[in-house]
Amino acid sequence: MNVLQVRGLAKRHGREQTLVRAVDGVDLDVPAGQTLAVMGPSGCGKSTLLHLLGGLERPSDGQVWLDGQRLDNAGERALARLRRRAVGFVFQSFHLVEELSAAENVELPILLAGGSPRTARRRAQLLLEQVGLAHRARQLPWKLSGGERQRVAVARALANEPLVVLADEPTGNLDTAATNEVLRLFGQLRAQGQTLVMVTHDGRVAATADRLISMRDGMFVEDTWLAS
């Protein structure tokens, strides 16, 4: 069963002389439980690809199915609902709400998806335990280290039990120790069968995935199975 299925996906910006083919006709199948890394130099289109997979941007061409549902031509409301429930995003610069505590940051997407405050509180507590930050639940983000902040962001991404976690340079702002914290957490998620797609330019981060796609100029140039 493919969680994500993509055919002929393209995203173009500008026109004629200034035409940029950020994503230039890619096909992709991501089966449930797979961890996939997309690697390439900056400007190769990997972040745009991730946005298209998660319905943050609309493609110029091609189709995206998330759990069998078309994303590319879904209406705004349906798309917003899918994004909230089926996809968890992790960004390079964490994107935590600075005014809210770690726990409140994790509760937020549950409340937005219609969960009760009580459900949200319980689930947030559980998730913060899972990422090893139960003791930091009441802290504001600025009191946390970079690695801790990104682990809170991962807990938030998992809040609504997404079908897929999409991570955009998740370790781009982290030192080696914090990078390893986040990668260990991804390893736990993999063991639990969480589908994960991350884009990165860092070979050591990409190497932790089961499967590696190399991207250049908007196209896939290589698709390698790394796990033995």
Partner 1 sequence: MQDAILAMLAKEPSHGYDLGLRLRRALGPMGGSMNAGQVYVTLARLEKAGLVVGERAEGLPAKPDRKVYALTQAGQERVAAWLTEVDWPKPDLVEFHLKLAAASASRLADPVELVGAQRRELMRRLHETQRAVLAEPEGSTGGLLLEGAALRLEADLRWLEACERVWIKESK
Chain residues in the site for partner 1 (CB under 8 A): 177, 180-181, 183-184, 187, 203-204, 206-209, 212, 222, 224, 226-228
Q: 6 is written with which tokens?
A: 């993509």
Q: Pick the closer one to partner 1 by CB: 124 or 213.
A: 213
Q: How far is the CB of 14 from partner 1 (least distance, A)?
A: 26
CA nearest to 206, candidates 37, 33, 30? 37
Environment class of 135 (CB within 10 Å of its CB; exposed 0-12, middle 13-18, buried 19+): exposed
Q: How far is the CB of 225 from partner 1 (least distance, A)?
A: 9
Q: How far is the CB of 26 from partner 1 (least distance, A)?
A: 18
Instruction: Give CA separation, 174 vs 147, 178, 205, in Å.
Output: 7, 6, 12
At 204 the three-state DSSP class reads helix
Q: Pick the closer one to partner 1 by CB: 8 or 203.
A: 203
Q: How far is the CB of 137 from partner 1 (least distance, A)?
A: 22
C-alpha to C-alpha distance for 79 and 81, rounded to whole angstroms? 5
DSSP per-residue letters across 44-112? SSHHHHHHHHTTSS--SEEEEEETTEE-TT--HHHHHHHHHHHEEEE-TT----TTS-HHHHHHHHHHH
Q: Are 70 and 42 in contact (CB under 8 A)?
A: no
Q: Pick the closer one to partner 1 by CB: 4 or 178.
A: 178
Q: Pick the closer one to partner 1 by CB: 59 or 170.
A: 170
Q: Pick the closer one to partner 1 by CB: 110 or 183.
A: 183
Q: How far is the CB of 17 from partner 1 (least distance, A)?
A: 23
* Residue appearing with tokens 């005014």: 99
Q: Are 177 and 183 in contact (CB under 8 A)?
A: no
Q: How far is the CB of 47 from partner 1 (least distance, A)?
A: 20
Q: Pick the closer one to partner 1 by CB: 137 or 183.
A: 183
